[in-house]
Structure 1
Amino acid sequence: MSAHSLEEQDHLNVQKEDVISPHPASKKRIRPPGLGIAFTVLSCLFAAFGSVVVKLIHDVGGTMLSVSRFGVQILLLLPFVTYRRNNVDVLGPCGLRRTLWMRGIFGSSAILTLYLSIKRMDVGDAVTISYTSTIMVPIFARIGLNETLTILEVILGFVSLSGVVLIARPTFIFPSNTYDSVDGLGLLYGVVGAVCQAITMVLIRKLGKTDAVINILYFSVLGCATSFVIMAVSEEIVYPCYEDLLYFFSLGVIGIVGQYAMILGLRFERAATVGVARSMQVIFAYLLQILILKDIPSTLSLVGSGIIFLCCVVLGISKVLKDRKNNEK
């Protein structure tokens, strides 16, 4: 064999080795520490803005607001779905369609009950009550996803629950002649929403890398249909004023951005961790309540929200340190 032929053969062997056996480090993608929590905090910020917008619309009920939000989301998503129809199955992955339906039903129910709760309570209190889901997410994640339940998550979940008690101020703990208790029906809506929210977060985590647009589309379509039926039965159809139309449209935009950020957060992080981290929405809700609505919360509400905020910070720091340790390995 000639020298020229040997050189060509060696060159081909080198190329073959490069293709078949690349260095493992070149394939490894290092994720920034706490990326899932960062997306979660972003979703909390937009969700808090949405809660304040609901409070700013005075003459329209929570069910009508839900229909409007989901309707705007569908209109905004249709161009993306149409553009990508050749690359994405609009019905979703075959084996996950039932999960998508459940995600849509429970997710939209969480939004509907939250809006109904906000109409009867202060924004900060309503948002905080709904985040009793913090204590429920690890339990549902353990059942549905077989995720491990750490001692830290259990402790922080119960401590967060104590913060919720301070905000709810039940009369069997706080005398009614000394402390103002919250609206009972508003509290019930908040708790039901918390259960739906916890199940939704586990379902989103189970959907994994399902296309986010399809995920939100299911959520919007099922939410719009469910809310419309409830609105028609309860005869709560109220036509908004022209000056409120901007608020209605902003609910849809805020909803899409918030949902997309939450999906990314659950894609990069465990459901139980995201469940506690989403308590940041409580802090954002109170800040916006003070700055925009000029409504000062009670001392007990501030103490309760402070406890929840502290739990979120502790969990976030522990997660960042754990991610950095894993990346160094």
Structure 2
Amino acid sequence: MIGSAFMFSLMGLFVKVAGRHLPSQEIVLIRSVVTLFYSYLLLRWQRVSWRGQRTGLLILRGVVGFVSLSCLYFALTRLPLADTLVLQHTSPVFTTLLAALWLKEPIGRHEIAGILLSLLGMVLVARPGFLFGTHTAGLDPLGVAAAMGAAIFSAGAYTIVRELRRTEHPLTIVFYFPLVSTIGSLPMALPTAVWPSPLDWLVVVAGVGLSAQIAQVWMTRGLAEEQAGRAVAMNYLQVVFGALWGLLFFREIPTPLSLLGMGLIFAGTGLVARVRA
């Protein structure tokens, strides 16, 4: 899980670097093509059918994942790296809410407390002007909205995956994500497409694509071998690594309010995850 957190933070770093020259949707397209290739190879290697039994729900999982990925990459081009990652890490809160609405899972008082802590943390990280005044430098509202969208749609994708696991092979579920993302990002990326330089190709293909693929594999292994509570705690290292990359490469220094908000989000989502475990 530590290795997974490190690789996911590297993916965020590479997206932020590539986003200086390339539109975020173009980065989504290239990353999706790379991961689609790897996913197809895994299907062939394991001799698993890509079709699945519930095609409609598999496509919906791909659509929701594509929207989440698009929101995340857009947010990374507009917000500090650590702030983007910590806002995106509120997805367990939204997963709990969606599971209660769709899967009819009960919510206890500890989970409600965790949700409220996380929501307060989000406010402190975002620092909206209508609450903190114009004298306090808040984050870009559009970037914050995108990061929150990434968290919400990520929660939706996870909830759908929990339903799909009853009938579908894990590799089939994984395959539909880059498949739909490739199809969805192509018409959105072409109108503003910029031909990448050799360095951009290296950053996006080797950096974003490869780091994302390695992170997914290591995360899957980590979740299978670690207790859920410890796995969630280790995954928060992604934000720590992200803060380090932001400081070293972009001179991004978190404000005291951001640090307090991050702590509340860690506590809230950790509480929700432990109860769910």
Unaligned runs of 5+ in 1: 1-38, 324-329
CA distance in 2 between partners of 1:102 and 1:42 (Å): 30
Aligned to 1:48: 9
Counterpart check, 1:168 vs 2:129:
no
Counterpart check, 1:199 vs 2:161:
no
| 1:167-186 deviation line (CA, Å, top 9, x unaligned) | 10001111112x11211221
Unaligned runs of 5+ in 2: none
Q: Tell me the SS of whatever aligns to 1:176.
A: coil
Q: Which amino acid aligns with 1:286?
A: A
Q: Which amino acid aligns with 1:69?
A: R
Q: Which amino acid aligns with 1:98?
A: G
- How far the C-alpha of 1:273 sits from its partner, in A, is 11
The 5 Å alignment of 1:119-134 reads 119-134=77-92
CA distance in 2 between partners of 1:309 and 1:142 (Å): 21
Greater relative CO, 1 or 2 (CA 8 Å, sep 6+): 2
Aligned to 1:241: 197
Counterpart check, 1:185 vs 2:161:
no
Counterpart check, 1:305 vs 2:262:
yes
Q: Which amino acid aligns with 1:124?
A: A
Q: Are the aligned partners of 2:71 and 2:150 in contact in 1 as well (CA < 8 Å)? A: yes
User: Cα RMSD between the aligned structures?
Assistant: 3.1
Q: Are the aligned partners of 2:34 and 2:209 in contact in 1 as well (CA < 8 Å)? A: yes
Q: Are the aligned partners of 2:115 and 2:272 in contact in 1 as well (CA < 8 Å)? A: no
- How far the C-alpha of 1:265 sits from its partner, in A, is 7.1
- How far the C-alpha of 1:73 sits from its partner, in A, is 0.8
CA distance in 1 between partners of 2:157 and 2:233 (Å): 14
- How far the C-alpha of 1:135 sits from its partner, in A, is 2.6
Q: Are the aligned partners of 1:69 and 1:248 in contact in 2 as well (CA < 8 Å)? A: yes
* Residues 165 and 134 of structure 1, relative CA distance in 2, 3 Å threshold: farther
The 5 Å alignment of 1:1-329 reads 43-57=4-18, 58-85=20-47, 88-92=48-52, 94=53, 96-177=54-135, 179-208=136-165, 210-232=168-190, 235-249=191-205, 250-260=207-217, 281-312=238-269, 314=271, 318=274
Structure 1 window deviating more from structure 2 (185-194 vs 271-280): it is 271-280
Structure 1 window deviating more from structure 2 (126-135 vs 181-190): it is 126-135
Q: Are the aligned partners of 1:53 and 1:247 in contact in 2 as well (CA < 8 Å)? A: yes
Q: Tell me the SS of whatever aligns to 1:172.
A: helix
Structure 1 window deviating more from structure 2 (269-278 vs 184-193): it is 269-278
Q: Are the aligned partners of 1:106 and 1:199 in contact in 2 as well (CA < 8 Å)? A: yes
- How far the C-alpha of 1:300 sits from its partner, in A, is 1.4
| 1:18-69 deviation line (CA, Å, top 9, x unaligned) | xxxxxxxxxxxxxxxxxxxxx5x66544322211111112201110000010
CA distance in 2 between partners of 1:161 and 1:115 (Å): 22
Q: Tell me the SS of whatever aligns to 1:173.
A: helix
Identity of aligned residues (%): 24
- How far the C-alpha of 1:161 sits from its partner, in A, is 1.5
Q: Which amino acid aligns with 2:212?
A: G
Higher-Rg member (1/2): 1
Q: Are the aligned partners of 2:43 and 2:49 in contact in 1 as well (CA < 8 Å)? A: no
Aligned residues: 274
Q: Tell me the SS of whatever aligns to 1:148.
A: coil
